[in-house]
């Protein structure tokens, strides 16, 4: 199938497929006599793996590691689990940080009168350059 068909079936854009190929997440596509990329079932399976990994928030570097582990039939599942646990730790840290950001913004919004007066604690906080609490 051509790149457009592969894009439709994988749920990725043709641009992303070319990008994944350029950074070696996807092996170089076979080419037709006229130079068009051609993809098969294995390529679609790999694209689905990449898409699902990205949907779970793994970085491109982590996706590369996961692909290597997936393709290595001699791998230890402990290696995969360690990578997943590390990602979980990173997600938990981001969740904590987002919670702090939400709480700060919530406090600022609650302290804003939201009326016709120009005084605004939200803008004052932003202008102060102070870090999040």
Q: Evaluate whether 60 touches 23 at the Cβ level (below 8 Å).
A: yes
Residue 31: enclosing H or E segment and its boundaries?
strand 30-31
Q: At residue 42, what are phi and psi to the nearest 5 degrees?
A: -60, -40
8 Å CB contact between 7 and 13: yes
Write down the pLDDT at residue 105: 92
Per CATH, the number for 1-58 is: 1.10.1660.10
Q: What is the pTM of this model?
A: 0.80
Residue 57 gets the label, from left (phi > 0), alpha (psi -120 to 50) or beta, of: left
- Asked whether 104 and 121 are in contact (CB, 8 A), the reply is no
- For residues 27 and 50, give the distance between their C-alpha atoms in angstroms, rounded to a whole number: 12
Confidence of residue 129 (pLDDT cuts 50, 70, 90): confident
Taking a C-beta distance cutoff of 8 angstroms, is the pair 63, 53 a contact?
Answer: yes
- 67: tokens are 């692909």
**pLDDT tens digit sequence for 6-52:** 999 999 999 999 999 999 999 999 999 999 999 999 999 999 999 99
Percent of the chain clearing pLDDT 90 (strictly above): 84
84-115 pLDDT, tens digit per residue, is 999 999 999 999 999 999 999 999 999 888 88
């Amino acid at each position: 199938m051509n790149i457009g068909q592969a894009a439709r079936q994988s749920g990725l854009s043709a641009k992303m497929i070319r990008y994944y190929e350029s950074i070696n997440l996807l092996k170089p596509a076979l080419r037709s006599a006229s130079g068009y990329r051609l993809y098969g079932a294995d390529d679609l399976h790999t694209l689905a793996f990449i898409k699902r990994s990205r949907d779970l928030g793994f970085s491109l570097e982590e996706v590369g590691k996961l692909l290597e582990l997936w393709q290595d039939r001699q791998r230890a599942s402990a290696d995969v689990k360690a990578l997943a646990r590390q990602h979980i730790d990173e997600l938990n840290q981001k969740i904590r940080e987002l919670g702090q950001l939400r709480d700060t913004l919530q406090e600022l919004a609650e302290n804003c009168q939201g009326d016709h007066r120009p005084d605004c604690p939200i803008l004052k906080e932003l202008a102060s350059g102070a870090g999040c609490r």
